[in-house]
With several copies, the nearest count.
Chain A
Amino acid sequence: MKECTVRECTIIKEKLTDLKEYKVADRFKDLKKEQKVEMLKRMFQIRYFEMEVEQFILKGQIYGTCHLYIGEEANAVGAMNAIRKNDWIVSHHRGHGHCIAKEADLKLMMAELIGKGNGYCKGKGGSMHIADMDTYNLGANGIVGGGMGVAVGASLTNKLKKNDGVVIGFIGDASTNNGIFHESLNLASVWDLPLIFYCENNQYGMSTPIIKSTRIKRISDRKASYNVKGVTIDGNNIVDVFNTVSHFAEVCRKGEGPVLIEALTYRQRGHSKHDSQVYRTKDEVEQWKEYDPIVRYREFLIESGIISEDEAKKIEEKAIEDIKAAAAFAEASPYPDLSELETDVYAD
């Protein structure tokens, strides 16, 4: 796989390859081929899903706003493949990727995004609130950091029920400056909860580079405040992501959590629907694109002889088809019935 040899990303001054200091077992190599292929498929699904969303944006069908995950796919897919189907996750505003990686129904997602009544939230949530209890996904969130407390609670449930479930709370780099991050990780630490905070450090919170919103070199350094385990990894390398999360999921299942993982990655698009991107150069974006996680993983699979060029193409085409079908389904779906407006406020 192509390594980020010369990357001087916005936050770290050393090379991504220097991140190898934290050694975990290579469990990826033991995976069945199907799963390795499945991972590529999901990455493509996310990529094409988001590109389809861009089309909906252009057509004016995305009301309000939404946040695309393009460029960050290795994180969601790598992490989700390292945990079990019935392990809970909590996502954030940039949540489509987590949702898809957790095997949500693409059709219901797309329907929600364009405000249809059969979408995941019956059109009540939209992009920033898609949740899917069936795939153990506790939802995106409109409040930066808002899901962190919920993630602590889900992992507390595991502990109280004495099962060996683990919870991943996906969080953004900039969200770690919010008080709830501190309270949540501290509480999880005091109670040894099986919780992984997986921080997708895509270098920016909206327009603000992380180096301007905090003075630390690595977000994972914040582990010191809670005496928990933590590490910084290359979040554009799905093999690293998979191996690291596999390792720490085990740590958590043994009662030695929580854990703070920082994954260096990059969002290739603007922050949200409207973003003139004055805060970064085209050059920076282009440089990061060279380390596109899908390109890297695809090449890696081919180079290591796991799949052929041809298979790769087929996987990609199938993903495109899946997305087209989801989009068609969404467009053909009905808008919510007005009688639904005031339902679902209270449970019986």
Chain B
Amino acid sequence: MSELTYLEAIRDGIREVMKEDERVFLIGEDIGLYGGSFGLTNGLFAEFGAERVRDTPISEAAIIGASAGAAVTGMRPILEIMFSDFTACGMDQLLNQAAKIRYMFGGKAKVPMVLRTASGGGAGFGPHHSQSWEAIFAHIPGLKVVMPSCPYDAKGLLISAVRDNNPVIFLEHKVLYKNKKYAQEVPEGIYTIPLGKAEVKRQGKDLSIVASSYMVQKSLEAAEELSKQGIDCEVVDLRTIRPLDIDTVMASVEKTGKLLCVEEACSFGSFMGEVITQVIEKGFDYLDAPPIRIAGKNCPVPYSYILEQEMIPNVDRIKDGILKVLGKN
């Protein structure tokens, strides 16, 4: 057990699955000697060699396609797309091929691959390196989508994702990667967190906050701050958004009667629209106030720090949202 950052925990998970299963290999741009754009794969090249840690040309479509092809013929690739925005360059291979192979083949094939990628803004990378595209991936049947919020979860979910027999989009938040503030005790060796299980990260009775990835951390902060004013928020970390653990969400909403969804993606057409819609369908009567979404503004993620911070939900906006759902402002 040692204190690891999010990035270190993911690396640790990768190392574990590579040791346990020789079908697992890594493929991506500059992931070898260089260790990846964020240094996440540092050391893996030295440990596992060039056959299993494969640097590629800048060819996102071929990387994704080759992973799908390797997966369907018996391997278990973990591919890195440097920034999630770049999946756009390989979208056909992802949405039309990898996601659909099993269904199109009448269930006679499986495509066990994990697409790891750095998602989200808040690091000043501008419009092409900061988007949150979970709504796009989660809309496609055949894909699973994982969004870990902390090191412990990240490692356990990564291991589950690699053992899963489906294409899994593993969205890592680049702001969490090296942030010591969120470092955690992470067990050594293998442990798993099931895909499709949300976790209540904070118990509370006044209101349910549903979030994933970095927004869980910000929501916890907001909850903590408001607890000083006697407001007791529950924070549900979805962890996996597809499959979506709507039961855990409903149980929380049933208890609190109030729902705030927090996400970083542009609000229009966002994933939390799905969560709210399902909650409404299933639990209209539980709710004693309209649910609210705190989300990214409806523009590309701008470069300038001051604009970017305004675009992405922060603790203050979340607190405002909480108060609004509670009818306190």
Contact = CB atoms under 8 A, between A and B. Distances in A.
Interface in B219-235: none
Interface string A275-299: 0001100000000000000000000
Interface string B115-135: 000000001111111000000
- Category for how many chain B residues contact A: 35 or more
A241 interface: no
Nearest to A212: B55
Interface string B57-72: 1111111111111111
A121 B305 contact: no
B105 A157 contact: no
Interface string B274-308: 00000000000000000000000111101111111
A64 B305 CA distance: 9
B304 A213 contact: no
Q: Is the interface of A mostly helix, strand, loop or mixed?
A: loop
A47 B30 CA distance: 27
B165 A152 contact: no
Contacts, number: 281
Given A116-B304, A149-B69, A183-B57, A208 B30 contact: yes
A125 interface: yes
Contacts of B55: 208, 212-213
A345 B103 contact: yes
A152 B57 contact: no
Nearest to B113: A153
Contacts of B128: 128-129, 141-143, 146
A151 B72 CA distance: 10
Interface residues of A, number: 76
A65 B124 CA distance: 7
A214 B62 CA distance: 14
B93 interface: yes
Interface string A178-202: 1110011011001100000000000
A186 B306 CA distance: 42
B107 interface: yes
A161 B76 CA distance: 12
Interface string A326-346: 000000000110101111111
Given A206-B34, A347-B110, A347-B166, A152 B124 contact: no
A122 B107 contact: yes
B107 A150 contact: no
Interface in B9-63: 25, 29-30, 32-34, 37, 51-52, 54-63
Contact of A335 (B68, B103, B304): B304
Among all A-B residue pairs, the 8 with the closest Cβ atoms:
A149-B65, A153-B69, A142-B128, A126-B303, A64-B124, A63-B124, A123-B304, A344-B107
17 contacts: A63-B124, A121-B105, A129-B126, A142-B128, A150-B97, A151-B69, A153-B70, A154-B72, A156-B75, A157-B73, A174-B57, A183-B61, A186-B57, A187-B56, A205-B57, A345-B300, A347-B165
Interface of A: 63-65, 88, 90, 115-117, 119-129, 131-133, 138-139, 141-157, 160-161, 174-175, 177-180, 183-184, 186-187, 190-191, 205-208, 212-214, 278-279, 335-336, 338, 340-348
Given A64-B124, A115-B305, A124-B106, 9 more contacts: A63-B303, A121-B105, A138-B72, A149-B62, A149-B93, A149-B97, A180-B92, A205-B57, A346-B144
